Chains A and B, each alone.
Chain A
Amino acid sequence: MIDNLFNWIDDRLAISRGGRHLLNKIFPDHWSFMLGEIALYSFIVLLLTGIFLTLYFVPSESSIVYHGAYLPIDGQHVSQAFASTLDITFSVRGGLLIRQMHHWAANIFIGSAVVHLLRIFFTGGFRRPREVNWIVGANLLILGIFNGFLGYSLPDDLVSGTGIRIAFSILESVPFAGSYLATFLFGGNFPGNGAIIPRFFIIQVLILPLAILGLLSAHLGMLVRHKHTQFKTPGAREDNVVGTPLWPTFMTKTLAFFFLTTGITVLLGAVAQINPIWQYGQYYPWKVSYAVQPDWYMGWLDGALRVMPSWEIHLPGHMIPNVFFPAVLLPGITFTVLMMYPFIEERLTGNVAEHHLLDRPRDRPVRTAFGCAVFAFYFVLFGASATDVLANYLNLSLNFVLWTFRILCIVVPIVVFPVAYKICKELEGVPEGGKRKVHNLIVRDPAGGYSTIPAEEYPGYESIELEPVDVEKVESLTAAAAAKNGDGRTEGVYEIPREYR
């Protein structure tokens, strides 16, 4: 039955031609390769939970009188967007769980994408032939950040509404075209003609997800075409890939990872409250709340807005507003340099060869130190988005906290660079440094003497290093085994050997 179905399909789509190579695709075993998988799986969670949310969310700014399940605002005028988000939260069964999962998944998606990016950066995974895929990845991050911002703006609550107001000002600050961009997108000067929530909605649920899906396909397509990079483990060379084949080992592990990622997201959605919009209330342009922080991935931009000195450029009849520098120029430079980095490094080092073996970060001290310093700069900006909260908690003056961050943005990268460089250089002198240490057990024998034996890495797991076997040779192996068994059986090939059954 299954055979017939397979034959029917295969005769028409020729799956077996080339499909075998796919089954045999080798995935290197290194924990850091899972970071991209987290991003992929949280994106799937985003799609699934997002579809659920679109079934109930009403993307409209029209005002209605609220008579829903949340009694404290019964009878008040709220927008349909806000009211329907409250309905998802309090009336739709499982709605709050799905909403919180969606929000958590967005944070995890961008978080894992950033950590994945750092892994690629510090190990040199962006080098030829993967420069294009690096650029695709950077664009995925940008789209993810945009979609995250649009997503948390949709409920029309007081916190996100303030964010939309700031977004309008940022758009407005663009030289030459700013006022046109802003009024076109919003349908007039802020808050526009009621167009912004419906527009954000269609961009957030259709246009950007489609763009992300397209880029993601390109990202993974190129991954298959290039095959994986790998660390210099035994047997790993520039002209091979060492690891586990897609079918069935990697498939099992990655499916496991999908369930673990989703499971963690569900648990967060269940017990960790996120974006309680009923506490913030409906957005009104003249209202604002204290300690307004955006989602974490916007933090560096908010921090940059805060630490920027109060400068503007005044030209005859024109001006370049203050927010342009931290909110347009800074991200513009950031993502341009990010995308250009493979070419910058290629130019500086003169190293234009193909690289499939990854660097250990310590072996490239300049790159590592540069990456650490740049990351430290954005981390300080991220911290600066909490100046008001820090001043409050630490009982310091806002003035002191702000100036501290202004100085830290410059000082921290300058300090981090030489420190990271020095650590790399020191580690280079310790070949075994960073290797997992196996614990030793002290055993007393019946005669009373003591001896030391290495503990098992995992209970029941043998740690011996094995030479890789060419996965494409398994076919001839299968034939050989069948011949040896003399009856066409191929036991022992990719099966648990008999003694373990």
Chain B
Amino acid sequence: MSDEQGPPVAPERDAEGLVSPDSPQFQVAAKHPQRVERTTAVLFLASLVGFVGFGIAYTQNGSTQWLGLTIGLGMLAFGFAMAAWGKFLMPRGPFEEPRAPMATTKEEKEAFVSDFATRGKVAVERRSFLVKLMGAAAAILGIVAAFPLIRSLGPLPGKSFYKTAWRKGSYLTTIDNRRVKVGDVEVGGVLTVFPESDVGGAISQTILVRPQTTAIVTKPGRESWAPQGYIAFSKVCTHAGCPVGLYEEQVQQLLCPCHQSLFDIYAGAEPIFGPAPRPLAQLPLFIDSSGYLRAQAGYDEPVGPGFWERGGTT
């Protein structure tokens, strides 16, 4: 039967008990080594051809595919050749080496500890003042060294998480520096806008939506914020800060493509689906006498994702 094996075959030993070189352990694993040698030779030849091919492909400015296929197949052939050599043309073994337990003995430990402790004691005995002074100096060094390493990297956060560049009267401006006028956005249209002083700004970016033609009231106190159906929200997602870039006109929702949070425009961009925990901040708008869309004021809350000092506003 094929899966029934006798006990492992012991190596042959001579009169002195030494392992004989004729033992099967020292013979190659292959039954027909010549065959394996032939295969290995063919594989090495193939790798040689592949490597030469790469040289040619490189000098001829060959495509990525030619460069990679030549040298890659060459390496595979080389690897298979080496594998066949190692597996079939070398003594099959198995061989063993002894292994001692890792744990040290009690004597070894004690000798080490006593050397360490006695010498250490001699070194610091009656010099506790020096030790304290050394410790103090090293501690100060550690603290002051942290300043250039960490503190120089960037400014303190300060008010940068609370303020955007939107101010009272800021014009809504497109990425190509054009002020947005009434009529620039069709009903069902959407536009990314910035304050003029920060066009392209990552934190000030705002999404202007026009769902309808009459004023939209999202929340009490926001009666005048969305004149003639123009409504603007911070485009920075309150979840992980991605741009809330997709406007779904039929349901009047904004979708963040990163983690699929949905915000209900008519409800003041309240999150209705996904991981976003807070509504997008709404920018109060007005239409000036020349028909330009402008901000009544800046955002009344920090835009974007949360942070420790942000406080408990929901």
Contact = CB atoms under 8 A, between A and B. Distances in A.
A287 B200 CA distance: 10
A201 to B, nearest CB: 15
Contacts of A172: 161, 305-307
Contacts of A470: 95-98
A428 to B, nearest CB: 19
A464 B10 CA distance: 11
A270 B312 contact: no
Contact of B75 (A234, A259, A321, A435): A259
B92 A466 contact: yes
Contact of B103 (A165, A307, A354): A354
Nearest to B201: A285
Interface centre among B30, B153, B305 (most CB of A within 10 A): B305
Interface string B199-222: 011110100000000000000000
A139 interface: no
A425 B61 CA distance: 60
> Which 8 A-B residue pairings sit nearest by Cβ, starting from the closest?
A270-B68, A492-B21, A321-B306, A454-B2, A263-B75, A259-B79, A256-B82, A285-B202
Interface string B285-314: 000000000000000000011111111101
A481 interface: yes
A188 B18 contact: no
Contact of B200 (A93, A187, A270, A286): A286
A4 interface: no
A283 to B, nearest CB: 10
Contact of A480 (B16, B68, B307): B16
Given A94-B58, A185-B154, 12 more contacts: A29-B93, A189-B160, A239-B99, A250-B86, A267-B72, A270-B65, A285-B202, A288-B243, A320-B306, A321-B307, A469-B96, A477-B21
Contact of B11 (A306, A454, A467): A467
Contact of B83 (A193, A238, A256, A477): A256
B243 A310 contact: no
A162 interface: yes
A320 B308 CA distance: 6
Contacts of A494: 26, 91
Contact of B97 (A177, A240, A323): A240
Given A286-B192, A323-B240, A258 B275 contact: no
A284 B200 contact: yes
Interface string A78-114: 0000000000000001101100110000000000000
Contact of B94 (A185, A226, A242, A388): A242
A192 B157 CA distance: 11
B161 to A, nearest CB: 6
A26 B75 CA distance: 27
Given A321-B307, A435-B3, A500 B258 contact: no
Most-contacted residue by chain A among B14, B28, B30 (CB, 10 A): B30
A471 B74 CA distance: 35
B274 interface: yes
B312 A314 contact: yes
17 contacts: A26-B96, A165-B242, A172-B306, A183-B155, A240-B97, A243-B93, A256-B80, A256-B86, A259-B76, A260-B75, A271-B69, A286-B243, A288-B258, A322-B306, A354-B101, A460-B30, A468-B93
| Max chain A Cβ within 10 angstroms of own Cβ: one of B5, B27, B201, B306 | B306
B210 to A, nearest CB: 18
Nearest to B245: A288
A74 interface: no
A319 B311 contact: yes
B32 interface: yes
Nearest to B85: A252
A279 B269 CA distance: 32
A323 B310 contact: no
A354 B266 CA distance: 66
B205 A493 contact: no
A496 B91 CA distance: 7
A168 interface: yes
Contacts of A25: 97
A179 B99 contact: no
A321 B1 CA distance: 66
Interface residues of A, number: 147
Contacts of B22: 492, 497
A177 B72 CA distance: 48
A235 B83 contact: no
A270 B160 contact: no
Interface in B252-266: 257-261
A323 B274 CA distance: 12
A270 B72 contact: yes
B131 to A, nearest CB: 30
Given A129-B102, A356-B99, A179 B260 contact: no
A253 B84 CA distance: 8
A275 interface: no
Contacts of A471: 95-97
A363 interface: no
A466 B93 contact: yes
B205 A286 contact: yes
A480 to B, nearest CB: 5
User: Which among B73, B100, B202 has the greatest number of chain A C-beta atoms within 10 A?
Assistant: B202
Given A235-B94, A240-B96, A466 B24 contact: yes
Contact of B154 (A195, A257, A271): A195
A287 B245 CA distance: 7
Contacts of A249: 86, 90-91, 93
A321 B67 CA distance: 49
A450 interface: no
